[in-house]
Structure 1
Amino acid sequence: MRRLPWMLACLVAAGWLPALPSARGLESSDRSTIPFHTILELEQTARLLAILLDSGRAVVNDNQTLLDDPTKAHKGFTPEAFEGQLRDMFRGRSGINLEELAGGTLSPRSRHLLQELVTVSKQVIADAQAELNRQGAGFKGFIPAVFGARVSTRFTAVTGVRLKQTTLDPRNPANRPDSYERVALEAFADSAYPREKVISEMAANSSSLRLMFPLYATRQCLDCHGGPKGGLDRTGYPREGLTLGQNAGAISVLLPVGK
């Protein structure tokens, strides 16, 4: 693969620079036949998908105490309740109202994929109701990473767009990074790396765009992934010794050009 000028794309997608009307400058540097505005649209779509998946993870994270309460049989964490919190979380992080996608400026592809991700996320919550509402049981194992894995698997099957949670030292072997992901994760691990700045790249054959969106440890994450390093967490897995706000991996997106 050839490295895109992803820093420019990030600035445009974030609204810090205006989108260019043509792709000629990028085509000459990337030697790609894909118009520059199409590449920017792909990058924006991939970034928004990563933010939406992470927003769902954050909603699960915020409700972890409720979900693991053994005294409550019915938690009220229904697909509808989840969706309301997801919309609020995503709007706060992206500035986009999921209820007004039809009247917005996003591309048809972006709108379709975001709506599909919301639908799949709600399905995962719906299918988990029996385990979440099991009275007398405390920790149920339904954590942000588990939610993200279930959503990613279904979303990929439905849309052909691959979502993946990965880290340099994954607990789940299925999340092991490939060579491209490892390079990005090593960059994210540098404490000087700008927070939430993505890394993206077009495939050499211009068939797909890859994007890496960094994740950070929250207080809830530290319950299992914090210190002391090497000590066993409640799942019996050795703790990683992360600190609050430290990079905790990334969401990897592989978006085919034709999707």
Structure 2
Amino acid sequence: MRHSLIAVGMAFFVAAGAAGAETTKEAALAKAQGMVKQLGSGLKTELQAAIKTSGFDGAVTACGDIAVARADQISEESDAMIHRVSLKLRNPANAPDDYEKGKLEQMDKDLAAGALKEAYVEVVEENGAKSLRFLKPILTNALCLNCHGSEAKIRPEVASALSRLYPDDKARGYEENQVRGAFSVSVPMGR
């Protein structure tokens, strides 16, 4: 009887371990989705408030400062990393790593083919540790064009503020519904 209980107990721990690995990926995915939702909705709210009080030229400063501060805060609270990345940089701090660059290029191809995914998710192993990589495309909407559109769509005072703050700005010339970048999350999953 004792051996039967040990065998049942061991089977339970093996099954729990297998389920735990599955749960770990699910938990990492849920964390990444929550982080993106938190950053995206917070940025939208704060950006709209800045536009209302300071106009688009005043919101240029707020957008960059708010995004970095919120991403850092959410990363610290979550024990994971979130930031925004783009192939056409405004802020050099948003430069993609090789993995992100590949996914951003894939997003552009997928959008052109009518197959853009809601998110690009993969468990990767780097330096002996697993992490869940999660990238959610940021599509340009009408509001975005005030700072990211063609020169004809960007007001002179906004263009001036952008040039002053970001002399090497490449994040202009977008049209509505283009991939402007992505929210990128990396959630550690252990070894």
TM-score by length of 1: 0.53
Matches within 5 A, 1:224-235: 224-228=147-151, 233-234=159-160, 235=162
Number of the residue aligned with 1:181: 100
Number of the residue aligned with 2:11: none
Number of the residue aligned with 2:119: 198
Contact preservation (8 Å) 1:47, 1:198 = no
For 1:52 and 1:139, the matched residues in 2 are separated by 23
Matches within 5 A, 1:216-231: 216-228=139-151
Q: More relative contact order in 1 or in 2 (CA 8 Å, sep 6+)? A: 2
Name the amino acid aligned to 1:251.
F
Alignment RMSD (CA, Å): 3.0
Number of the residue aligned with 1:169: 88
For 1:37 and 1:23, the matched residues in 2 are separated by 10
- The structure in which a higher percent of residues are strand is 2
Matches within 5 A, 1:240-255: 240-255=172-187
> Cα–Cα, structure 1 residues 57 and 201, in superposed 2: closer, same or farther, change >3 Å?
same
Number of the residue aligned with 2:31: 45
Number of the residue aligned with 1:213: 136
Contact preservation (8 Å) 2:82, 2:185 = yes
CA shift, 1:141, in A, is: 3.5
Contact preservation (8 Å) 2:47, 2:59 = no
Number of the residue aligned with 1:99: none
Name the amino acid aligned to 1:180.
Y
- The structure in which a higher percent of residues are helix is 2
Matches within 5 A, 1:6-155: 35-68=21-54, 139=58, 141-155=60-74
CA shift, 1:156, in A, is: 2.8
> Cα–Cα, structure 1 residues 149 and 62, in superposed 2: closer, same or farther, change >3 Å?
same
Give the number of the structure whose alpha-carbon radius of gyration is greater.
2
In structure 1, the gaps of 5 or more residues are 1-21, 28-32, 70-137
Number of the residue aligned with 2:5: none
SS at match of 1:189: helix
Kindly tell me the number of residue pairs found equivalent between the two proteins: 161
CA shift, 1:203, in A, is: 2.5
Share of identical aligned residues, percent? 24
Contact preservation (8 Å) 2:39, 2:74 = no
> Cα–Cα, structure 1 residues 193 and 175, in superposed 2: closer, same or farther, change >3 Å?
farther
For 1:213 and 1:145, the matched residues in 2 are separated by 19
For 1:39 and 1:252, the matched residues in 2 are separated by 16
Number of the residue aligned with 2:4: none
SS at match of 1:207: strand
CA shift, 1:174, in A, is: 1.4
Name the amino acid aligned to 2:94.
N
> Cα–Cα, structure 1 residues 154 and 228, in superposed 2: closer, same or farther, change >3 Å?
same
TM-score by length of 2: 0.70
CA shift, 1:144, in A, is: 3.4
